[in-house]
């Protein structure tokens, strides 16, 4: 009998204060949502300010470098599609279904074979060819890329992504470099 009365009193208190309890639970859910949203935005802003950590990149092998760049693009909100590790026709990433990017993490200059692979791989995927390297290109590679319309992104470009005063070495129409840079500058109130 006493237990029944206690249960009724507890239920009565629960019904009496249900508005407060429900409001409190909604507030907790909202705070969790806002926290996750802020965390995602902070990750994007961190990625924008630390887009390419060259001292870290230098220690990566080819596949880990591909993973690193893919993750950095994803963190910026760029849609990417990975190609298979082998049999990729020379293309490592498809970016926004527009650019076919070949990545090279070389300590030496990159020659014409990278340009040839990117050009033929981009033709296979029917995308615009881009080669992104963590060093520089040979003169022959630059000439071939210019003739074939392959966009080149080199070490200087990587170091200066987001720098308003930087002038690119290679003459290109607006391409992948500017596309990614748009994501890097997003929400940073920097206009180009």
The tens digit of pLDDT for each residue in 138-162 reads 999 988 988 888 888 888 877 776 6
Residues 76-108: tens digit of each pLDDT: 778 888 888 777 788 988 888 888 889 888 888
What whole-number distance in Å separates Cα of residue 5 and Cα of residue 9? 6
Burial of 91 per CB tally in 10 Å (0-12, 13-18, 19+): buried
Give the single-character DSSP code of 73.
H
- The chain-wide mean pLDDT, for the chain, equals 75
Question: Could you tell me the pTM of the whole model?
Answer: 0.64
Q: Tokens for 120? A: 């033929």
Q: What angle do CA 61, 67, 70 make, to 5 degrees?
A: 140
CATH topology of domain 51-185: Trna Endonuclease; Chain: A, domain 1 (3.40.1350)
| pLDDT value at residue 39 | 67
What number of CA atoms fall less than 13 Å from residue 133's CA on the CB side? 21
The vertex-41 CA angle with 36 and 43, nearest 5°, equals 95
Residue 96 or 23, more confident: 96
The pLDDT, as a whole number, for residue 75 is: 76
| Cβ-based neighbours of 188, under 8 Å, separated by 6 or more | 45, 48, 162
Question: Residue for token digits 């693009």?
Answer: 73
Q: Distance between CA 109 and CA 91 in Å, rounded?
A: 19
Residue 67 and residue 55: Cα distance in Å, rounded?
Answer: 16
pLDDT of residue 164: 64
């Amino acid at each position: 009998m006493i237990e029944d009365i206690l249960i009724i009193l507890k239920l009565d208190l629960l019904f009496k204060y249900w508005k407060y309890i429900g409001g409190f639970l909604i507030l907790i859910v909202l705070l969790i949502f806002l926290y996750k949203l802020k965390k995602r935005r902070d990750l994007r802003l961190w990625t924008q300010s630390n887009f390419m950590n060259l001292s870290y990149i230098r220690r990566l092998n080819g596949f880990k470098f591909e993973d690193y760049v893919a993750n950095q693009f994803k963190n910026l909100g760029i849609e990417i599609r990975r190609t298979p590790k082998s049999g990729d026709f020379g293309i490592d990433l498809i970016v926004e279904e527009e650019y076919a990017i070949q990545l090279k993490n070389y300590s030496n200059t990159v020659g014409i074979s990278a340009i040839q692979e990117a050009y033929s791989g981009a033709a296979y995927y029917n995308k615009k060819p881009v080669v992104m390297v963590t060093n520089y290109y040979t003169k022959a590679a630059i000439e071939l890329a210019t003739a074939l319309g392959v966009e080149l992104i080199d070490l200087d470009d990587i170091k200066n992504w987001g720098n308003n005063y930087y002038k690119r070495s290679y003459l290109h129409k607006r391409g992948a470099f500017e596309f990614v840079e748009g994501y890097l500058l997003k929400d940073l109130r920097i206009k180009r």
